[in-house]
Each structure stands twice: as C-alpha cells, then as structure tokens.
C-alpha cells in the first residue's frame, strides 16, 4: 500500500524556516538561525533529561 | 489592544540605549536603560547599573507592557557600556 | 520599498541578537519572576524555547515549597529580573 500524503515535493528539512528567517532578518538570518537552533536544542535536551513539569499546573493567565 | 506589540522593529530600535520608564500590568513601573526589545515577544530588556558595581537586569514581557516613556537619551558612553553586556565568555566568532 | 525592508530587517536582526544574547547569558543564573495574580517565584534559569513561550528552570522556589525541575509559561509572567 502506498502512503497517501499531501506532502509537497521533498523539501530539505528546515528550508521553510530558513526562508522565513531570510524575510525577517535579511543578511543576518543564518547567524540568528544558528543562535536560535542552539537555544532550542538546549531547551529540548534539558527537558528530555530533567522532565520538568509546568508550574503552576493551571496557567495564571488564560 | 496592545500598541506596544504592534510597533515596527525600527520603532522599537529607537528606544535602545535610552533610559525609559515602563508601565506594566497593575500600574507597576520599571525604569532603566534599554538593552533591547525582543522583536518576537516585544519584551523590553532594562538595565540598571548599581553603585555596588552590580548590574540589575529586568525584562518586562511584551504582553504586559502598557506604556514606555523615554526619560533620557544615552550618549555614546552608555551605548558602549550596554553593547558590552551579555557578551559570551569563551565563545568564538560571536560579535555585536 | 526595498530600503525600508532592509532597515526593518537590520533593526529586527540587531534587536533579536541582543535578546538571544541576554537569554544565553542567563543560563544558571538565579532569576526572580513576577507573575500574574501577585505570584512571585525564584529559580535557577536553564533555557528558553525560541518562541519565548516556555522557560525551563531548576530549583523553583514557590510559595509552598521547592519544585526541583519546572517549566514556567512566559504568558504567566509580567517581568523577570536578575543580577549580573
């Protein structure tokens, strides 16, 4: 069975984000993309390792 | 409703290196030198240099900002002083 | 026009880089958070996600005790502060 998918033709991962960043930041897009990616990686890694729970459980501001 | 968040980056940029008074939710007021305004969240990063030599940083979240008033313009010295803050130590290739 | 777009990009770029630098410099720092509903907490900062929606922190001192590992919602915050 072949998979039905609405996927566009294969996009390199992160290409859309890269394009969006280029519009937002122009020349400095790759530098900022690098900083943001590093930060997100740290965040994800810390969350994986430490398994933090939200505090407070119920949001203060809805 | 939140005009602050609707501003363009060029407008936010005009606040950088100036001393401002930020009024936040529930009439809370913060004063300090603007290091930056995050263009993603509109959060205002304020810096106060204390007599003790310590630097106090307060960040008011963009969604909580009600008003920002410029009190004083920082000169080239303040600009220099602010631009040297938060510099990563032991990192290579990071500038500005 | 194009010059205005470039000006907007450059401003956005400078502002964002500075903000990211400030977040990176906060790693392992003691940070005080002023939140809605008159809630004040303090914790050791770990990392932020890139959309500035969540802060990952450790040793969160809450009004009723310490939570070793926590996620704080940025929309719950009014401001946060620290000393360099």
Sort out which chain C residues have CB atoms less than 8 A from A27's CB and list them: 9-10, 13
Choose the mutation target among B14, B58, B68, B90 for the interface with C, i.e. most C CBs under 10 Å.
B58
- Which residue(s) pair with C71 in the sheet? A54, C56
Is the Cβ–Cβ distance between B47 and B82 less than 8 Å?
yes
Q: What is the pTM of this model?
A: 0.90
Per-residue model confidence as pLDDT tens digits over C26-78: 999 999 999 999 999 999 999 999 888 999 999 999 989 999 999 999 999 99
Structural domain of residue C63, as residue ranges? 2-81
Is the Cβ–Cβ distance between B4 and B62 less than 8 Å?
yes
Burial of C78 (0-12, 13-18, 19+ CB in 10 A): buried
State the total domains in chain C. Answer: 1
Dihedral Cα A52, A58, B2, B5, nearest 10 deg = 10
Chain C interface includes A46 (CB < 8 A): yes
CB contact under 8 A, A60 and C16: no
Q: Domain-by-domain residue ranges, chain B?
A: 4-73
> ipTM exceeding 0.95?
no
CB contact under 8 A, C36 and A36: no
Q: What is the fold, at CATH topology level, of the domain defined by B4-73? A: SH3 type barrels. (2.30.30)
Give the model's confidence band at A39: pLDDT under 50 very low, under 70 low, under 90 confident, else very high. Answer: very high
Choose the mutation target among C10, C15, C75 for the interface with B, i.e. most B CBs under 10 Å.
C15
Strand ranges (DSSP E) for B1-96? Answer: 18-24, 28-37, 44-49, 55-60, 65-73
- Write down the mean pLDDT value for chain B: 90
CB contact under 8 A, C21 and B24: no
**Residue B87 phi, psi dihedral angles, 5° rounding:** -70, 130
CATH code (residue C17): 2.30.30.100
pLDDT score at B96? 39
**Chain B: residue nearest C16 by CA?**
B38
Q: Which of C8, C19, C52 sits opposite B36 (nearest CB)?
A: C19
């Amino acid at each position: 069975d072949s998979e039905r998918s609405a996927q566009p033709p294969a996009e390199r991962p992160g290409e859309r984000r890269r394009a969006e960043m280029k519009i937002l930041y122009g020349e400095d897009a790759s530098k900022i993309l690098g900083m943001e990616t590093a930060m997100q990686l740290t965040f994800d890694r810390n969350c994986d390792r430490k398994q933090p729970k939200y505090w407070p459980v119920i949001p203060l501001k809805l | 409703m939140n005009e602050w968040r609707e501003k363009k980056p060029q407008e936010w940029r005009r606040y950088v290196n100036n001393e401002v008074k930020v009024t936040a939710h529930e009439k809370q007021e913060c004063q300090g030198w603007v290091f930056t305004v995050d263009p993603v969240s509109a959060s205002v990063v304020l810096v106060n240099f204390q007599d003790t030599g310590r630097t106090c940083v307060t960040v008011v979240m963009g969604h909580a900002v009600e008003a920002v008033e410029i009190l004083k313009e920082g000169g080239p010295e303040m600009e220099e002083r602010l631009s040297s803050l938060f510099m990563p130590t032991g990192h290579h290739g990071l500038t500005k | 026009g194009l010059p205005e777009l470039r000006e907007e990009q450059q401003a956005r770029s400078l502002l964002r880089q500075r903000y990211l630098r400030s977040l990176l410099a906060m790693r392992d720092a003691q940070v005080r958070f002023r939140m809605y509903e008159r809630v004040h907490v303090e914790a050791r900062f770990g990392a932020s996600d890139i959309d500035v929606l969540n802060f990952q922190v450790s040793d969160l001192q809450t009004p009723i005790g310490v939570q070793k590992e926590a996620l704080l919602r940025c929309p719950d915050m009014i401001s946060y502060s620290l000393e360099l």
